[in-house]
Amino acid sequence: MENKNARGLKITAIVFMGLNTGMNILGGTGTVCAAFIPLYVMVLGTKDYQWLYQTLMITTILIGIAGVWSTVKLIKGGKDLFKWALIILIIGTVLSGTQFFASLSIRGAATPANVKFLSNAVTLLLFLILRYTKLGAGVDFSNPSSKADNKMAGGLAAFTSGLAVLSVFIWAGPSHTYMGESWIDIYGQPILFTGAVLVGAGLVSIIWSFFQMANENITEISPKSTM
């Protein structure tokens, strides 16, 4: 059975993976303006580099979908999942890093690509630390965690991802405003709906995990009390 530190690190890794997955999907879909929409392509000056942004948009969304799969699998547990999570994070870091430096060179600004790059890089660093240092010696993703830990990890991942979605107006809004019009507002309702659902579902799962923990503790104590 995992000790408390290992359980905490495992949950933390899953939360970071879930949050990073949300950032990749957000970043991928948000690249549509620089990749396909003529007006925004003209304003951003990415006409000669549309092929690059189109490629980055599609591959980033795909790696985001792979991140969803990885997050769910990490919660449930299974063989070789950590290896696949690392591969997904390495690819995500390369893609987001490419967009970060490309935007910096082409547009002279990298927001919000810099946020996505930082998210991928930090999450990758965390997983590398857990894999190759003593800190992660007791962290085991091959076996499923308790139901309480699963609900806690899934809930926190959903909750933090929802907060990232809802706050996109703050950290991406300034870089997506032209002549006083925010491009993000075009997708305002879907963003608010998705963010609210994730936050709500996350909170329910987190609260339920506490009830599950209480039940598990009672189950552990009960046999001892009857001896």
Output the pLDDT for position 217.
Answer: 65
What was the pLDDT predicted at 59? Answer: 96
Whole-number pLDDT of residue 47: 85
- The pLDDT averaged over each successive group of 10 residues in the chain (227 residues) is 78 93 89 80 82 94 95 88 94 95 83 88 96 86 80 90 86 67 74 91 92 70 52
pLDDT at 136: 83
DSSP 14-53: HHHHHHHHHHHHHHHHHTHHHHT-HHHHHHHT-GGGHHHH
Q: What is the pLDDT of residue 2?
A: 60
| Helix (H) / strand (E) containing 182 | strand 181-182
